[in-house]
Amino acid sequence: MNEMYKMSLSIHEAGILLLVLIFLGSLWQLNRADDLMVYLKKMRIQSPLIMMAMFAPIFTGMVMMAAKHLEFTVANIVMIVLSVVLIVFEIKRSKPLKYASIAEEGAFEKYKKDATTILVGEIALIIMISIWMYL
């Protein structure tokens, strides 16, 4: 049982690192994007993949809690709240793309500004909770 917990913990940590790398890649891609239509096509493929990458650490965290019969400590509650916040942030980031209007002038620039703020916030939240967990 202990080996399963250690393996789940390493998968959980790798999933979190992958998530940070995906968010950094999304931020880089967003800042390089000039054409809305090209960016929309890429995001229609990437959005489900980003959500799947988000759910890997969430699922392994739930499995670890169930397998070890862990109680709801402050750290566990914070991680659950962080998971919900990340999901809401990703929905807020992808929803404007679903209803993007090509005719509106400056809409893509406004989206880029808002999405950059969300991505930086997500990265900062993950890094802060990771540092807290390792201390």
Are the CB atoms for 73 and 8 separated by under 8 Å? no
pLDDT at 130 over 80: yes
For 56-93, give the DSSP string: HHHHHHHHHHHHTT----HHHHHHHHHHHHHHHHHHHH
Q: Encode pLDDT of 9-41 as tens digits.
A: 889 899 999 999 999 999 999 999 988 888 888
**Cα atoms in the Cβ-side hemisphere of radius 13 Å centred on 86:** 25
pTM as predicted: 0.87
Domains of the chain and CATH, by start: 2-134 (1.20.120)
| Burial (0-12, 13-18, 19+ Cβ within 10 Å), 82 | middle
135 falls in which pLDDT band (50, 70, 90)? confident
Q: Encode pLDDT of 78-121 as tens digits.
A: 999 999 999 999 999 988 877 766 567 788 888 899 999 999 99
Rounded mean pLDDT, 46-75? 85
d(CA 90, CA 51): 8
